[in-house]
A and B are shown apart, each in its own frame.
Chain A
């Protein structure tokens, strides 16, 4: 019995050398970092040149100093906001996935509920925050509710769109390979929906911290949003900026964490380099 010979060479992917990798990462991070540094320098110089009072607008150096001086307090409030953000975000991802799957498996539910879900996005979520305070009080839960509402929608949409945009040819192929409905879902539909689910989740990650701050503005006793309102009342503008820095870093970190999980979960979906 003759063996079949391979006459083709495969296009082997050579692992990149370490310095090349470093250079690639620097090449990608370099330009935006440069822009950030330039912006900070110009900002600092303009404020100093025009002699703007610090209660109107604070220069970066003063913001950095404020962060150093109020380190403990800032981190304490950041912890509160971070908890609200993470709990709300987790709820939103779990609920969004579950709801998306439910709509995917029930044609009737999808037809009746999906249009309503889209329409519900015209309700500004922010205006619901005071209502949650009335119902749930001043603690953790009204903020969690706002964050969840903020983040739920992109996750659901990502899940539903991902699941319904599977190439029907794959499903036909799986049918001729004895797949059950569940088998098709597990081996084809869900994995191929993952990139879109992650896209939705990344969008949700950027909303989450903002949602928590809105929740705190509507009524709270602690958190970065609460601290911001207090600082604003005292005309302590540098502290307001310090809070903004913390909120931004938090949002970026959550976005980065989701992106990292995405890279590890679905390495096959990475486009290009």
Chain B
């Protein structure tokens, strides 16, 4: 299982394999993403005001805010799909939108799986985009399907998968892009609440195995607190950061214990209060 070994986390004891395939090469500078005084407007609508934010390598940051507060705009701007009107965004030494686009992988709310491709061919599409032959791309994706509990589902078409499974394939596709930065835009919003909590656990396990710098946008305060290490609360339009919460929760206990603990409720109350103001 040499192939599987090479998908191990970078700190594993296979120096030649670590980072060879999935983990992108990137200067190990502390700050992975740096936003300075970012302003964004669309015509008359002001979407973002004075957003400054520094995210460390392999840190998970949550962004919470009401619908239409410019959360998704912020992700698009980081990804390089749009360039903000004012301010700067740097990902390592990548400053222009084109350079940023090469460093980020965006996972949208809808799974956006291509119905004519099997699950494994959907997951491996980024490799094909970079010129890898389909057969080889498949071989490289297969170990991930095993590791992330999708082993029997490689050949299914998206129509044959449940919503939760489709979202997993969509996440693997984002992972297979071999980018150090994952931008997750409400990844589980379309799922029912039971499937959603299962997916949150799954995502945490997956990120422990494949650590990445993660920016998670959500309107679900619980989700942000559970999945990330730092939560930025954004106000209703025009969006600005109104509160920052450090969520150093002990995570080695069952979810029900975390969400009913006093630290969790205190953080949640603080977040909700910031959202209301």
Which A residues are in CB contact (< 8 Å) with B162?
Answer: 8-11
Q: What's the nearest-Cβ distance from chain A to residue B82, in Å?
A: 10
The answer, among A4, A10, A170, A180, for a CB contact under 8 Å with B129, is A180
Whether A51 is near chain B, meaning CB under 8 Å from some CB there, is no
A180 to B128, CA, bound (A): 11
Q: Are A172 and B81 closer than 8 Å at their CB atoms?
A: yes
Q: What's the nearest-Cβ distance from chain B to residue A264, in Å?
A: 13
Q: Are A176 and B205 closer than 8 Å at their CB atoms?
A: no
Which B residues are in CB contact (< 8 Å) with A1?
Answer: 8, 209
When C-beta atoms are compared, the residue in chain B nearest to A188 turns out to be: B114
A170 to B113, CA, bound (A): 9
When C-beta atoms are compared, the residue in chain A nearest to B148 turns out to be: A4
Given the interface pairs A176-B104, A176-B105, the reply to whether A266 lies near B147 with Cβ below 8 Å is no
Chain A contact residues: over half helix, strand or loop, or mixed? loop
Whether A108 is near chain B, meaning CB under 8 Å from some CB there, is no
A187 to B122, CA, bound (A): 10
Q: What's the nearest-Cβ distance from chain B to residue A13, in Å?
A: 6
Whether A69 is near chain B, meaning CB under 8 Å from some CB there, is no
Whether A137 is near chain B, meaning CB under 8 Å from some CB there, is no
When C-beta atoms are compared, the residue in chain A nearest to B198 turns out to be: A7
Sort A-B residue pairs by CB-CB distance and give the 7 closest, nearest first. A4-B149, A177-B126, A176-B106, A179-B129, A268-B115, A6-B149, A178-B129
Q: Are A176 and B128 closer than 8 Å at their CB atoms?
A: no
A62 to B106, CA, bound (A): 69
Q: Are A8 and B198 closer than 8 Å at their CB atoms?
A: yes
A178 to B102, CA, bound (A): 7
The answer, among B76, B104, B149, B164, for a CB contact under 8 Å with A3, is B149
When C-beta atoms are compared, the residue in chain B nearest to A175 turns out to be: B101
Residues of chain A at interface, number, CB under 8 A: 33
Q: What's the nearest-Cβ distance from chain B to residue A272, in Å?
A: 12
The answer, among B101, B116, B153, B198, for a CB contact under 8 Å with A191, is B116
Which B residues are in CB contact (< 8 Å) with A191?
Answer: 114, 116
Given A3-B146, A187-B129, output 18 extra A-B contacts at Cβ < 8 Å. A1-B8, A6-B149, A7-B198, A11-B160, A167-B112, A169-B110, A170-B114, A172-B108, A175-B101, A176-B81, A176-B177, A177-B105, A178-B102, A178-B130, A179-B129, A187-B128, A266-B116, A268-B115
Per-residue interface assignment for chain A, residues 180 to 202, with 1 indicating a CB less than 8 Å from any chain B CB and 0 otherwise:
10010001100110000000000
Q: Which residues of B (187-218) have their CB < 8 Å from a CB of A? A: 195, 198, 202, 205-206, 209
A1 to B27, CA, bound (A): 27
Whether A174 is near chain B, meaning CB under 8 Å from some CB there, is yes
Which A residues are in CB contact (< 8 Å) with B101?
Answer: 175-176
Whether B79 is near chain A, meaning CB under 8 Å from some CB there, is yes
Q: Are A3 and B112 closer than 8 Å at their CB atoms?
A: no
Which A residues are in CB contact (< 8 Å) with B149?
Answer: 3-6
Q: Are A183 and B129 closer than 8 Å at their CB atoms?
A: yes
Q: Are A172 and B106 closer than 8 Å at their CB atoms?
A: yes
Which of B76, B106, B153 has the most chain A CB atoms inside 10 A of its CB?
A: B106
A12 to B152, CA, bound (A): 12
Whether B125 is near chain A, meaning CB under 8 Å from some CB there, is yes
A178 to B126, CA, bound (A): 6
28 A–B contacts, CB within 8 A, in A order: A4-B148, A4-B205, A5-B149, A6-B149, A8-B164, A8-B195, A10-B162, A11-B160, A11-B162, A169-B110, A169-B112, A170-B112, A170-B114, A172-B81, A173-B106, A173-B108, A176-B104, A177-B105, A178-B126, A178-B129, A178-B130, A178-B177, A179-B129, A180-B129, A183-B128, A188-B114, A268-B115, A268-B116
Q: Which residues of B (77-98) have their CB < 8 Å from a CB of A? A: 79, 81
Q: Which residues of A (1-26) have their CB < 8 Å from a CB of B? A: 1-13
Per-residue interface assignment for chain B, residues 152 to 172, with 1 indicating a CB less than 8 Å from any chain A CB and 0 otherwise:
010011011110110000000
Q: Are B156 and A10 closer than 8 Å at their CB atoms?
A: yes
Whether B240 is near chain A, meaning CB under 8 Å from some CB there, is no
Q: Are B125 and A187 closer than 8 Å at their CB atoms?
A: yes
Which of B126, B161, B195, B202 has the most chain A CB atoms inside 10 A of its CB?
A: B126
Whether B173 is near chain A, meaning CB under 8 Å from some CB there, is yes
The answer, among B125, B157, B161, B209, for a CB contact under 8 Å with A268, is B157
Which A residues are in CB contact (< 8 Å) with B129?
Answer: 174, 177-180, 183, 187
Q: Are B164 and A4 closer than 8 Å at their CB atoms?
A: no
Which A residues are in CB contact (< 8 Å) with B104?
Answer: 176
Q: What's the nearest-Cβ distance from chain A to residue B27, in Å?
A: 20
Q: Which residues of A (136-179) have their CB < 8 Å from a CB of B? A: 167, 169-170, 172-179
When C-beta atoms are compared, the residue in chain A nearest to B103 turns out to be: A176
Q: What's the nearest-Cβ distance from chain A to residue B148, in Å?
A: 5
Which B residues are in CB contact (< 8 Å) with A177?
Answer: 105, 125-126, 129, 173, 177
A3 to B7, CA, bound (A): 14
